[in-house]
Structure 1
């Protein structure tokens, strides 16, 4: 490989290795975060569309602590067009103190993306998560069908964050977890 293509490749990948784990401008991650309470299963209630989740329903995320101090992330969803479950296992680390809900997550080796809990129910029943920019948004709930008051609360948070809530895809959660 000549130096020019290699230089272009490095310059292309450099932003991926840099600030993509920081929260988007204007979004402050939750302070006083308690990983022990956040661990376990969360159901994806709504999301902004991205190719890596396109067409998936019954999406869930499970978080648990690894022996090395990192956080194991298991994302799972049913691909109706292929009639099969798809899953991805990743690893997350806090970007700073463990009581600030700002993490970097990797599903692909050395490449990390931001994962920032921007709002969290005091009882840890629902959460609003943004990625490295406002084009990534997930509304999560501990329940497949959250309490009726949760949906307006989640939408209000999304609107306050300046995220395009009108583009949300509401995820079907009417399939067994098998």
Structure 2
């Protein structure tokens, strides 16, 4: 399944996508603490059409965060393929790091999404409300997109 072509959401209205999203599950990554909890992202649309990104998590009782900017990878495409740029380290932001942020699925009411990137190394499942709810469909949908749900962890 890993070779299955990745489908990306189309026609995403960035204005509706803005706001706070709470992570409910993810594939572990080197840039998020393994004991992080209450992980969330807040998106704010800027006048120039780019998006301010604030990623936050709490680890060991302390808040850690990073801010960046997201923008459409191809401004002429209706696919929800974005690039996100952060400057690291957060306390002295001098080195730009750019990654892919692809919206693979988005519910019609903009309350649930699947976010991934082409290498399939990272996957996030955010909600606009901080409650878990029913995830059996999510696991099926992840599998149908060529991802292994066994690689995911639920976010506390």
Report how far residue 157 of structure 1 moved: 1.6
Deviation larger for 33-42 or 92-101:
92-101
Query: 1:154 aligned to 135, 138, 142, which one?
Result: 138
Report how far residue 171 of structure 1 moved: 0.4
Contact 1:113–1:132 (CA<8 Å) still a contact in 2?
no
2:59 maps to which residue?
79
Please say if 1:53 is aligned against 2:32.
yes
2:6 maps to which residue?
27
Report how far residue 98 of structure 1 moved: 6.5
Higher Cα radius of gyration: 1
Tell me, in whole angstroms, the C-alpha distance in 2 between the residues paired with 1:138 and 1:169. 10
Contact 2:71–2:82 (CA<8 Å) still a contact in 1?
yes
Please say if 1:42 is aligned against 2:28.
no
Contact 1:117–1:128 (CA<8 Å) still a contact in 2?
yes
Please say if 1:128 is aligned against 2:108.
no
Q: Tell me the secondary structure at the aligned position of residue 70 of structure 2.
A: strand
Report how far residue 85 of structure 1 moved: 0.5
Q: Tell me the secondary structure at the aligned position of residue 154 of structure 1.
A: helix
Tell me, in whole angstroms, the C-alpha distance in 2 between the residues paired with 1:155 and 1:101. 21
**Ranges in structure 2 where 5+ consecutive residues have no aligned partner:** 88-94
Tell me, in whole angstroms, the C-alpha distance in 1 between the residues paired with 2:111 and 2:44. 17
TM-score where L is the length of structure 1: 0.76
TM-score where L is the length of structure 2: 0.85
Tell me, in whole angstroms, the C-alpha distance in 2 between the residues paired with 1:88 and 1:132. 22
Higher strand share: 2
Tell me, in whole angstroms, the C-alpha distance in 2 between the residues paired with 1:152 and 1:100. 26
1:140 maps to which residue?
126
Report how far residue 77 of structure 1 moved: 0.5
Contact 2:114–2:126 (CA<8 Å) still a contact in 1?
yes
Aligned residues: 145
